[in-house]
Amino acid sequence: MSGRFCRVEPIDSTRHGEALHAAYATDREGRLWTYLPWGPYSGPEELCARIDAVRASGVRPEYALIDLMSGEPFGQASYLNIDPAAGSIEVGGIVYASAFQRGTAATEAMYLMMRRAFDELGYWRYAWQCNSLNARSRAAAIRLGFKFEGIWRQANVHKGRNRDTAWFSILDSEWPTIKTAFERWLAPENFDAEGRQRMPLSVLTAAAHQS
């Protein structure tokens, strides 16, 4: 999946592992991993081993997110909880290096994965879940056009703690207007000479849900 700012490609420990570990290492305090059931990693070998284990399990297709400007990976994301019979698929396992959070490349990566799920694979429901305490993830879901559905209380245990899970989704009936919002946001004319956005994505996706 290729865009103007990033490429989303199947993850490979040999090609992506060391570079991803280096990108994540800029997070000195380990905040990337607070609400995830894995990480931080002791070194690139541990990250590579996890990439290989997920790939071998066949449970979820995992991708590396590549910054086209540098050619280096800056994050990971997966499709998971895939249920073709119900027409439902989820995006998750998302990690971005600190410098790319809420950035253009990271946002485009989410759009590319969303577009494939709806336009190419024909799913009807695209879901997002996160720890209910993870304010950043909840805000990201809303910014990206997901609708809040509710909380599953004590839905899981991560790192020895009960987790209440916040659920969000986009439906196929909502996708056309959300897609248009992304395309307006990603358009070259929405960015000034320094690369600053003129119209925030959150404004465009909020308007899409009101149309």
Per-residue pLDDT tens digits for 129-154:
999 999 999 999 999 999 999 999 99
In a domain, 197, yes or no: yes
| Residue 121 domain boundaries | 6-210
Q: What is the largest CA-CA distance in the chain?
A: 49
Find, among 8, 13, 100, 23, the residue nearest to 49 by Cα: 13
pLDDT of 200 reads 96
In a domain, 165, yes or no: yes
Judge whether 114 and 170 are in contact, CB under 8 Å: yes
In a domain, 86, yes or no: yes
- If one counts the domains in the chain, the total is 1
pLDDT of 78 reads 98
Round to whole Å and give the CA distance between 150 and 54: 29
The helix/strand/coil state of 45 is helix
In a domain, 1, yes or no: no
Q: pLDDT tens-digit profile of 4-20?
A: 999 999 999 999 999 99
The two tokens of residue 55 are: 């790939």
Find, among 187, 20, 164, the residue nearest to 104 by Cα: 187
pTM for the model:
0.95
CATH code of the domain containing 32: 3.40.630.30
Q: Which residues of the chain have pLDDT under 50?
A: none
Round to whole Å and give the CA distance between 187 and 121: 24
Round to whole Å and give the CA distance between 97 and 143: 19
Round to whole Å and give the CA distance between 91 and 110: 9
